[in-house]
Each structure stands twice: as structure tokens, then as C-alpha cells.
Amino acid sequence: MRTKLSIATVRGEFLRQVEAISNENLLACNQCGKCSAGCPIASTMVDILPNQVIRLTQLGIEDVLDSQMIWACAACMNCVAHCPKGIDLPRIMEALRLVAMQKKGDRMAVNQVPLEALGEIPQLAIIGGFRKYTI
């Protein structure tokens, strides 16, 4: 895949928007990868790693909004506990989800939740899911 970088996108509006919503300084990240090393989700079935989510956003590459990783992060905060730069990555994930949903709409609809699941799944999961996947 060819990726074109330009001064217009690097440190452009996209990065500023994500920084404003998350209140995190993304450029503080120097890509040490500790977040990805400790991420329980990264080792399962996602396309890109948590540190790559930051890297793409730093570079203003909005393809990050199509990644599975931003939807798979459940904010367990393992990365927060171990980031040497004090970055709160789940807040960045949340900001990216919000930007993605502003552009493309909600990720979940009530009528798409399987009925048999509704009977058994704890309310917490249903409420949590809708708060994360809808705006």
C-alpha cells in the first residue's frame, strides 16, 4: 500500500480534532510499543496494533478510522498503566470512535442485537456497548 504524506495532513485538522476530544498529546508518543506489548486484544484478531493507531493519527492518515482496533479496545487500561510517556490511549481510541461515528454514523443498532443474546447478556454489556458504538 502506498501512503502519501503531506505537510497539509501531518499535524493537520484531524490530529487537532483527536487531541481536542481526547485531551491527550499524541506527539508525545515515540512508538516504544509498550501499549501493544501489553494489549490483550492486540494478540487476538485485530488489523493494526495500538501503537500504530497513534502513529497513523500522528501522521494525519484518516484510514485509522476504518481500523478494527479502535472498535476492539474495551479500555482495560493496561497500556495506561505502562506508557512511559503517560499517554492515556483509551481516551485516544474513544476520540477516534467519536470522529468515525460523526463521519459515518452509529456502529450498532438496537434491532441488530440478537434476541437470544438479549435474554442472557448482562445489562452492563448492553448499556456499555451502546454508549461506545452510538452517538
Partner 1 sequence: MSIAYFPGCTLSTNAKGYDHSGREVARALDIPLTELPNWQCCGATFPLATDNSMAFIAPTRILAQAQKVDGHVTTLCAICFHVLRRTQYFLDHRPEMLERINWFTEEPYEGKMRVSHFLEILRDQITWKGVRERVTNPLKGLKVAPYYGCLLLRPQKEIGLDDSDNPRILHDCLNALGCEAVDFPYQDECCGSYLLVSKPELPQKLAESILLSARKHGAQAIVTACPLCQFNLDYPQRLGGGGHMAQGGLPVLYFTQLMAVALGLEPASWGMESHYIDPRPLFANPKG
Burial class (CB in 10 A: 0-12, 13-18, 19+), 71: middle
- Measure the CA–CA gap between 57 and 83, rounded to whole angstroms: 17
Taking CB under 8 A as the rule, does residue 28 contact partner 1? no
Size of the site for partner 1 (CB under 8 A): 42
Pick the binder of partner 1 from 14, 15, 22, 69 (CB under 8 A).
Answer: 22
- 5/105 with CB nearer partner 1: 105
The minimum distance between CB 135 and partner 1, in angstroms, equals: 10
- Measure the CA–CA gap between 113 and 41, rounded to whole angstroms: 22
- Measure the CA–CA gap between 133 and 71, rounded to whole angstroms: 8
- Measure the CA–CA gap between 105 and 66, rounded to whole angstroms: 13
Taking CB under 8 A as the rule, does residue 109 contact partner 1? no
List of residues contacting partner 1 (CB under 8 A): 20-23, 40-41, 44-45, 71-72, 74-78, 80-81, 88, 90-91, 93-95, 98, 107-108, 113, 117, 120-133
